[in-house]
Amino acid sequence: MAFEIDMSMIGKLLLEMSAEEQLEEDSHFGKAVCTLNMNENLLNAVKRLLQALETPATRRILGPGAAWEILYHVLKGEQGTFLRSIVLQNGLSKNIMSVVRYLQKNYNEQHNITSIARYAGMSKSTLHHAFEKFVGQSPIQYLKKIRLHQARIMMVGKSYNASEAAHEVGYNSSSQFSREFKRQFGLLPSHAAGNL
């Protein structure tokens, strides 16, 4: 079996993995071609992928999840450092990962595309294009997503009301927050706690 790797998928998966899940970087990135024994988690993920290929429906519905799981286990394995080094070998990918981490930590501050591009040390158009390619959405869309998820956590887990949560995550307008929250989650902020 051969498994073609989409480097943008690796980049997106790295963004989802917490720092603890990623192995320490070292100066030895491993070999480009080598054989390794599969651990049980990776073997089970490969079996799920092969089972998903049996019909067009299971391939379409279950295949992508199995592929993500395989990549995750490979990144966590002995050659994970090598695979990460391929994705991050150009400075642009590293810059985008740095921007993502910056937005995750500073989501409640006021940002616009100009300030984010300044932080990244890129032009607005270069940032927008590279971020879309690597993350799958624009920097502003990504920032909104982080804010809305954080607000939902505050309302459900910490009993914030909608306007408190909106203000806490960086929204200046409660009505804009409500519109975007409903677009993201399909319900108004006031109904969030009861529907989680």
Which tens digit of pLDDT belongs to each residue from 153-186?
998 888 888 899 999 999 999 899 999 999 988 8
Q: Which residue has the tokens 């940002």?
A: 111
pLDDT tens track for 60-73: 999 999 999 998 88
CATH classification code of 90-196 = 1.10.10.60
The secondary structure of 8-67 as a DSSP string is HHHHHHHHHS-TTTSPPP-S----SS---PPPHHHHHHHHHHHHHTTSHHHHHHHHHHHH
pLDDT at 27 (0 to 100): 42
Residues 6+ apart with CB under 8 A from 81: 23, 25, 26, 28, 29, 30
Domain ranges within the chain, ordered by starting residue: 7-87, 90-196
Q: Is residue 21 scored above 80 in pLDDT?
A: no
Q: Is residue 120 scored above 60 in pLDDT?
A: yes
pTM of the model: 0.62
Residue 19 exposed, middle or buried by CB count within 10 Å (0-12, 13-18, 19+)? exposed
